[in-house]
Structure 1
Amino acid sequence: MPARAFVPQEQLEVEPDTFEAVSQEETAIMPYLPEVEEIGENPAIPEKLLRARFAKLEKSIPLTYHKSSHEFVEYFIYKKAHFTRMVMERMPLYFPMFEKALQKHGLPTELKYLSMIESGLNPTIISHARAGGLWQFMPATGREFGLYQDKYVDERFEPAKATEAACLYLKQLYNIFGDWELALASYNTGPGNVKRAMRRSRGTTFWTIYNVLPRETRSYVPQYVAMNYMMNYGADHGIYPENTEFPVPHDTIHVNGYIDLLSFCQQSGMNFEEIRKLNPQITKTSLPEQTRDFILKVPSVQYTYFVSNRDTIMSACTRKNGLLPAVMLARADSTGTDSLGRAATAFPYASVASADVDEEEDEPSAVSRTRKSSHTVRRGETLMSISRKYHVTVSELKKWNHLRRSSINRGQRLVLWKEVKVAEPRTRVASAEPEKPKVATISHNRHTKKRYHTVQKGDTLWIISQRYGLEIGQLKKKNRIRGNSIKPGQRLIISS
Structure 2
Amino acid sequence: MIVLIFRSFIISLLSSVVVAQSTPGATSKKSIEAFNELGYASVFSDQRLPSYAIPDSTRAFKYDSIWLEKLKETRSLFTLIHDTAGDNIEKKVNKELLIDRFERINQKTPFQIAYNPILEREIAKYLRGDATLIRRMLQVSAFYFPLFEQILDENDLPLELKYLAIVESALDPKARSYVGARGLWQFMYSTGKSFGLEVNNYVDDRSDPLKSTKAAAAYLNQLYRIFDNWDLALAAYNSGPGNVSKAIRRSGGYTNYWNIRPYLPKETADYVPRFYAILYLFEHAKEHGLSAERLERTYLETDTIHIKRSITFDHITEELPISKEQLEALNPSYRMATIPYVKGKDYALRLPKALIGDFISAEGEVYALAKKQEDASEKPLAALVSGPERLRYRVKSGDALSIIADRYGVSVKQIRSWNNLSGNVIRVGQRLTIYPRRYPKS
1:309 is paired with a residue whose SS is helix
The structure that has the greater radius of gyration is 2
- C-alpha distance in structure 1 between counterparts of 2:199 and 2:265, whole Å: 29
Tell me the residue number matched to 1:266.
Answer: 318
Count matched residues: 296
User: Are residue 234 (structure 1) and residue 282 (structure 2) matched?
Assistant: no
The change in CA–CA distance for 1:319 and 1:57 in structure 2 (over 3 A counts) is farther
Tell me the residue number matched to 2:189.
Answer: 139
* Unaligned residue ranges in structure 1 (runs of 5+): 1-20, 37-42, 324-496
CA contact (8 A) 2:305 2:349 kept: yes
Which whole-Å deviations, capped at 9, do the CAs of 1:453-489 have from their partners, x for residues lacking one?
A: xxxxxxxxxxxxxxxxxxxxxxxxxxxxxxxxxxxxx
Measured after TM superposition, the shift of residue 308 of structure 1 is 3.0
User: Are residue 48 (structure 1) and residue 96 (structure 2) matched?
Assistant: yes
Measured after TM superposition, the shift of residue 304 of structure 1 is 2.4
Tell me the residue number matched to 2:12.
Answer: none
Tell me the residue number matched to 1:171.
Answer: 221
325, 334, 350: which is aligned to 1:282? 334
Measured after TM superposition, the shift of residue 318 of structure 1 is 4.8
CA contact (8 A) 2:231 2:272 kept: yes
Say what the alpha-carbon RMSD is for the aligned residues. Answer: 2.5
Measured after TM superposition, the shift of residue 307 of structure 1 is 2.7
TM-score, structure 1 length as denominator? 0.56
CA contact (8 A) 1:185 1:221 kept: yes
CA contact (8 A) 1:62 1:181 kept: yes
- C-alpha distance in structure 2 between counterparts of 1:305 and 1:290, whole Å: 24
> Aligned partner of 1:48: which letter?
E
Which whole-Å deviations, capped at 9, do the CAs of 1:361-399 have from their partners, x for residues lacking one?
A: xxxxxxxxxxxxxxxxxxxxxxxxxxxxxxxxxxxxxxx
269, 274, 277: which is aligned to 1:218? 269
Matches within 5 A, 1:416-455: none
2:374 is paired with a residue whose SS is coil
Tell me the residue number matched to 2:305.
Answer: 253
316, 321, 325: which is aligned to 2:369? 316
TM-score, structure 2 length as denominator? 0.63
> Aligned partner of 2:104: which letter?
K
The change in CA–CA distance for 1:27 and 1:301 in structure 2 (over 3 A counts) is same
User: Are residue 152 (structure 1) and residue 198 (structure 2) matched?
Assistant: no
- C-alpha distance in structure 1 between counterparts of 2:216 and 2:74, whole Å: 26
> Aligned partner of 1:276: which letter?
E
- C-alpha distance in structure 2 between counterparts of 1:134 and 1:80, whole Å: 23
Which whole-Å deviations, capped at 9, do the CAs of 1:97-126 have from their partners, x for residues lacking one?
A: 000000000100111111111111111010
User: Are residue 304 (structure 1) and residue 357 (structure 2) matched?
Assistant: yes
> Aligned partner of 1:267: which letter?
E
User: Are residue 66 (structure 1) and residue 125 (structure 2) matched?
Assistant: no
The change in CA–CA distance for 1:152 and 1:165 in structure 2 (over 3 A counts) is same
Which whole-Å deviations, capped at 9, do the CAs of 1:43-80 have from their partners, x for residues lacking one?
A: 92111101111121221112221211111111111135
> Aligned partner of 1:62: which letter?
Q
User: Are residue 189 (structure 1) and residue 253 (structure 2) matched?
Assistant: no
Measured after TM superposition, the shift of residue 131 of structure 1 is 0.5
Tell me the residue number matched to 1:92.
Answer: 142
Measured after TM superposition, the shift of residue 189 of structure 1 is 1.0
CA contact (8 A) 1:77 1:239 kept: no
- C-alpha distance in structure 1 between counterparts of 2:370 and 2:319, whole Å: 8
User: Are residue 101 (structure 1) and residue 151 (structure 2) matched?
Assistant: yes
Which whole-Å deviations, capped at 9, do the CAs of 1:254-304 have from their partners, x for residues lacking one?
A: 124311221122112222222111110011122345363202101111222
Q: Which has the higher helix share?
A: 2
2:350 is paired with a residue whose SS is strand
- C-alpha distance in structure 1 between counterparts of 2:320 and 2:371, whole Å: 13
